[in-house]
Amino acid sequence: MTTNTTVLEASDVTMRFGGLTAVRSVDLTVNSGEIVGLIGPNGAGKTTFFNCLTGLYVPTEGKVSYKGTVLPPKPHLVTSAGIARTFQNIRLFANMTVLENVLVGRHTRTKEGLWSALLRGPGFKKAEATSNEKAMELLEFIGLAHKADHLARNLPYGEQRKLEIARALASEPGLLLLDEPTAGMNPQETRATEELVFAIRDKGIAILVIEHDMRFIFNLCDRVAVLVQGEKLVEGTSEVVQADERVVAAYLGTPFEGAPGDEEVAEVEAAEAASATTSKEAPSTNTRTEDGQ
C-alpha cells in the first residue's frame, strides 16, 4: 500500500515512579499503514507507556520521535505534532453535545485565535462553518451524526467510546493511540469497532492499540508487542505472539517450566484416555486454566 516510513519511534523508554519501574527500556516503532497492538496483563505498564508517548508523563529515560522529530513532552505539542489518543477511562465533556466534543478536538487545527473568536469576525465565522462541516463528516464516518446534538453524558457507553475516537480524529492525526477501545462493549459493538479501526487505517492513519480482548487484537493487528512487568517480552505477528509460550504463561500467571503441574496434566490425560475408551461422549476435562481472559 504505502511505503514503510516510520511514524512513531520510541527508544529505550523507561518510566519510574519512586521505587517502581512501570516501564523499562521499551523500544517500539509504528510504521505508516500499520495497526500495532500492545498487550499485557493488568498493571504491565501499557497505559503508562502511552502516557510517555503523549507527553502526559516525562519518561525517566528514553526518547520518543514522531516522523523523525523528537517530541517535546507536552500533551498539546504532541497533539499538534500529529498524535491523538483515547483514554482507558473515557474523558469526554459530559455536558457538551456530541458535536461540541468533536469541535473541541479540532481546536489544535484551527488557526483562528482568541480575538477572532471573541469578535466573531468574518474569519471566525468562516472557520466555524468549516469546523462544523468537518466535525459532522467525522460523526458521519463514526456513525454518530444522528446524535450530533445529544449531550455526551446521555450516550450509551459504547457510543461514548466511539465519540472519543471521533474527537481524537478531529485533531487530524497521523497516529492514533487507542487505550482499550472495546472495554465494556458487547460483541456486536466490538466487531463494529474492529471495522472502524480498519477504516481509520485505510484513511492513512497509523494505529497503536491497547486491548485485553485477544480476538480483537489478533484479528486486527499487523504486529503485536507484549509488555509484562514493564518490559517488552515478545513482539511479532499475531501468529508468532499467539504461539509464544512465554506470552501464555504471562497471562495465566503460571510458570511453564519446573512444571509442578506436570503430574496433574498426566492425570487428566490418563483420565481422558480412559474415558475415551469406555465412552463415546466427550470427557469432562479439567479446564480451569482455559477460562483466563
Ligand X SMILES: Nc1ncnc2c1ncn2[C@@H]1O[C@H](COP(=O)(O)OP(=O)(O)OP(=O)(O)O)[C@@H](O)[C@H]1O
CA distance linking residue 91 with residue 89, whole number of Å: 6
* Minimum distance from residue 88 beta carbon to ligand X (Å): 6
Query: DSSP label at 214?
Result: H
Q: Which residue has the cell 512444571?
A: 259
CB closer to Mg ion, 52 vs 102 = 52
Residue 43 contact, options Mg ion, ligand X, none, Cβ 5-8 Å cut-off depending on partner type: ligand X
> Which one, of 18, 83, 15, lies nearest residue 54 by Cα?
83
* Minimum distance from residue 246 beta carbon to ligand X (Å): 17
Is residue 60 helix, strand or coil?
Answer: coil
Burial degree of 132 (CB within 10 A; 0-12, 13-18, 19+): middle
Residue 42 contact, options ligand X, Mg ion, none, Cβ 5-8 Å cut-off depending on partner type: ligand X
Q: Give the three cell numbers for residue 210.
A: 491497547
What x/- string results for residues 28 through 67 when contact with ligand X is judged by CB under 6 A? Answer: ------------x-xxxxxxx-------------------
Residue 200 neighbours by CB under 8 Å, 6+ apart = 165, 169, 176, 207
User: Within positions 57 to 96, which residues make up the interface with Mg ion, using CB under 5 A?
Assistant: 88
Would you count residue 21 as binding ligand X (CB under 6 A)?
no
User: Within positions 70 to 99, which residues make up the interface with ligand X, using CB under 6 A?
Assistant: 88
Cα–Cα separations (whole angstroms), residue 110 to 72, 90, 171 = 21, 24, 9
* Minimum distance from residue 265 beta carbon to ligand X (Å): 29
CB closer to Mg ion, 52 vs 144 = 52
Size of the site for ligand X (CB under 6 A): 12
Are the C-beta atoms of residues 83 and 54 closer than 8 Å to each other?
yes
* Minimum distance from residue 252 beta carbon to ligand X (Å): 16
Binding segment (CB under 5 A) for Mg ion, from list 40-48, 104-112, 224-232, 263-271: 40-48
Task: List contacts with ligand X (CB under 6 A).
Answer: 17, 20, 22, 40, 42-48, 88
